[in-house]
Amino acid sequence: MGGEFCRPRASHLQGKIPAMTGEREPDGNLYVLWHARHLAVEQDERVIHLDADGTIHLNEEEWRIIGIYPDQAVAERQREISRKLPGFRDEPDCFEIAPVGVDEDLWNQGFVTVYPEGRRRD
């Protein structure tokens, strides 16, 4: 039962993901709309959302995939819709749109988990 809340069954996705319908940008990319929810609170109780250069601050955040879209314009429209929704509107500037290729390995060297101080699992 828990898995049903985490991810939809394949039958729910049929016809909704552009890769399944053959609709894609000419460059072959799909566009993933992400949102970062920042968990770390600074000593002065502030939450840092963006770094000085305008990029999303990377420190103890959790990422959510909002959706996968056939082109950047569709992803941008969904970002504007999502900015008004509960939870997302608390961090309206913490969206990222990333192009991804189909049949492309993104985690081909494994990964390492860096735990916050005092939270390491053995």
Q: Within 10 Å of residue 69's Cβ, how many Cβ atoms?
A: 23
- 61: which 2 tokens? 């955040």
**pLDDT confidence of residue 4:** 33
**pLDDT confidence of residue 121:** 62
**pTM > 0.85: yes or no:** no
Cα four-point dihedral sign 4, 80, 62, 70: positive
Residue 73's identity, in one-letter code, is A
Distance CA 34, CA 108 (A): 21
Report pLDDT digits (tens) over 5-46. 333 333 333 344 444 444 555 678 999 999 988 777 777 777
Report pLDDT digits (tens) over 60-84. 678 899 999 999 999 999 999 999 9
Structure letter (DSSP) for residue 88: G
115: pLDDT confidence band, cut at 50, 70 and 90? confident
Q: Within 10 Å of residue 14's Cβ, how many Cβ atoms?
A: 10
**pLDDT confidence of residue 73:** 96
Per-domain boundaries in the chain: 23-101
